Amino acid sequence: MTGDASPVRAVLTRAGRTVRPATTSPPLREVLSDRRELVASARAAAQSPFSSLRHYSKTTPGKLILLCFVVAVTALGTGWYASTTLNNRTHQLQTMIDRSEPLSEAAQVLYSSLSIADAAANSAFISGGPENPQLRQRYSDALATASSSLLVTAGSDSGPGADATAQTRALNSDLEVLTTTIPVYSGLVETARTNNRLGNPVGSAYLGQASALMQDRILPAAQRVYERRALAIADPQSALTTPPWGVYAALLILALLLIGTSRYLARRTRRRFNVGIVAAMVAIIGGLIWLLTSGLLSVAATSSAKDDGATPLRELTEARILTQQARSAETLSLLRRGDQAGLQDTFEQATTRIGMVLDSLDEADGSSGSLSGDQITSLRAALDQWKKTDAQVRDSMTSGDFTQARIMTVGSSPQSSETSYNAVDSALVNAITTTRSSFRDDINTAQRVLGFTGNGILALSIFATVALILGMIPRIREYR
């Protein structure tokens, strides 16, 4: 039995060895570890770049890079904003002195020349006898000056797309009225002169029609043109007399941001100063001091141009317009010999308002450096003399002595109304020239002082940005 069992046992043993599992498979821990690594790598591959960036931004080097980026962008933005704002102010000042002010001056000369031409035509007609060559020359010169001033006044200082504005359309309408009616007026005057030389009584009717055209259509249109041209100076001045507070605030915020960055870096790196950040701070603070100096000086010069130049210039121009209106009423009273009360009221109202303008200028004379007290005094004396002479002319007309009234109105004697009017007008022209020179000098000073401040601050901001980046890069590399 023993012998029979041995082969069976051997077969079963061999069979058991055959069906037993092999011992070469990896351990369970290794399999689980590999699986976890695969899962982690898959998650890392599926993770978005934004999430990775957000995770990196929470680290110290990530925070430093983010801080450097924010400050650099702020510095560049501040430089661009300062350059745009200040260069725009400089451009406005340059445009004012090159375009707006000459257009306003041309509009004032246009109105005055038209009034002088009308008064000269009336004076030549009422003088009687052969036409006075001096009055004829004065009329021709005034009309030629008005024509050339009209060409200058018609120039445009408006920006692109401004032709659609209501103000520009109204200005163009008034210029069209002047362009079309001035030749009609001069034609009526020449017709009146021709009939007057021929002894035809209809000449006075033609001259009356010409004067009515001048008073009712031409001069009101010229006055509106002047007011709009003067407004083109007043509006920018109101803005330019205010300091650029936005640029000041932007530079101050940037300086505080650089100080905060320096303190944060000092706490993280245990280094008290960073050369790059210190250089950036010096550049920005230097730009702030530069802007404080040039900006405040520019504002002061612009304010002086407004107070000592534009404001008295506008008042003096108004006074000269009133002077021409008073002279026209004075000569028309002799030409028409009717409606004496209405023309006298016009003269009195005009001269009263001129006196009010002189009072206003006299009150401001203490703080104004443009007009002297002697100029205002001479103006007031000439105006008082004119009023006295006009009163004498009115008395002569009331008594029926039109010959004496004519001599006192258009004569060349020192006591004539013509002489008094010329004295007032000449004094006003001198005062206008003085205030205009003061205005232009102050605007030129404001433009020169502001000058390259905008581009200079932009260059300093770029320098500060480069210095900041160069100063931060070594600190960021320390975390590799």
Domain membership flag for residue 294: yes
Domain membership flag for residue 275: yes
- Measured from the Cβ of residue 435, the count of other Cβ atoms closer than 10 Å reads 25
The Cα–Cα gap between 426 and 112 comes to: 12
The Cα–Cα gap between 292 and 281 comes to: 16
Whose structure tokens read 């105006």?
383
Burial of 478 (0-12, 13-18, 19+ CB in 10 A): exposed
The Cα–Cα gap between 350 and 332 comes to: 15
The Cα–Cα gap between 120 and 185 comes to: 13
Q: Which residues of the chain have pLDDT under 70?
A: 1-58, 127-131, 156-164, 271, 336-340, 364-370, 480
Q: Report the candidate in 193, 94, 205, 85 with the shortest Cα–Cα distance to residue 454.
A: 85
The pLDDT value given to residue 103? 87
The pLDDT value given to residue 86? 92
Domain membership flag for residue 300: yes
Residue 477's contacts (CB-CB under 8 Å, 6 or more residues apart) are: none
Q: Which two tokens stand for residue 85?
A: 């704002």
Q: Are 326 and 343 in contact (CB under 8 A)?
A: no
Domain membership flag for residue 47: no
pLDDT tens for each residue of 56-92: 556 777 788 888 899 999 999 999 999 999 999 999 8
User: Residue 337: left (phi > 0), alpha (psi -120 to 50), or beta?
Assistant: left
The Cα–Cα gap between 32 and 151 comes to: 95
Per-position b or e across 215-252, b if 16+ CB within 10 A of its CB? bebbbebbbbbbbbbbebbeebbeebbeebeebeebbe
- Count the helices and strands in the chain (H runs, E runs): 17, 0
Domain membership flag for residue 394: yes
Q: Please name the amino acid found at residue 254.
A: L
Residue 322's alpha-carbon distances to 82, 115, 280, in angstroms, are: 45, 10, 60
Q: Are 450 and 93 in contact (CB under 8 A)?
A: yes
Residue 292's contacts (CB-CB under 8 Å, 6 or more residues apart) are: 248
Q: Which helix (H) or strand (E) holds 160?
A: none
pLDDT tens for each residue of 382-407: 888 888 888 888 888 877 777 787 77
Residue 111's contacts (CB-CB under 8 Å, 6 or more residues apart) are: 219, 222, 223, 225, 226, 321, 324
Q: Which helix (H) or strand (E) holds 217?
A: none
Domain membership flag for residue 28: no
Beta strands in 232-286 (DSSP E): none
Residue 327's contacts (CB-CB under 8 Å, 6 or more residues apart) are: 115, 119, 421
The crossing angle, in degrees rounded to 10, of helices 453-477 and 245-269 is 20
The Cα–Cα gap between 389 and 274 comes to: 83
Q: Are 223 and 111 in contact (CB under 8 A)?
A: yes
The Cα–Cα gap between 86 and 42 comes to: 56
Domain membership flag for residue 423: yes
Q: Which two tokens stand for residue 258?
A: 């650089």
The Cα–Cα gap between 480 and 473 comes to: 12
- Furthest-apart CA atoms within the chain: distance in Å: 183
- Count: domains in the chain: 1
The crossing angle, in degrees rounded to 10, of helices 49-57 and 60-95 is 90
The Cα–Cα gap between 114 and 215 comes to: 10
Q: Are 82 and 250 in contact (CB under 8 A)?
A: yes
The pLDDT value given to residue 168? 80
Domain membership flag for residue 11: no
DSSP letters of 354-384? HHHHHHHHHHGGGT-SSS-HHHHHHHHHHHH
The pLDDT value given to residue 164? 45
Burial of 27 (0-12, 13-18, 19+ CB in 10 A): exposed
CA 248 from centre of chain: 20
The pLDDT value given to residue 163? 45
Host domain of residue 343: 62-328+338-477
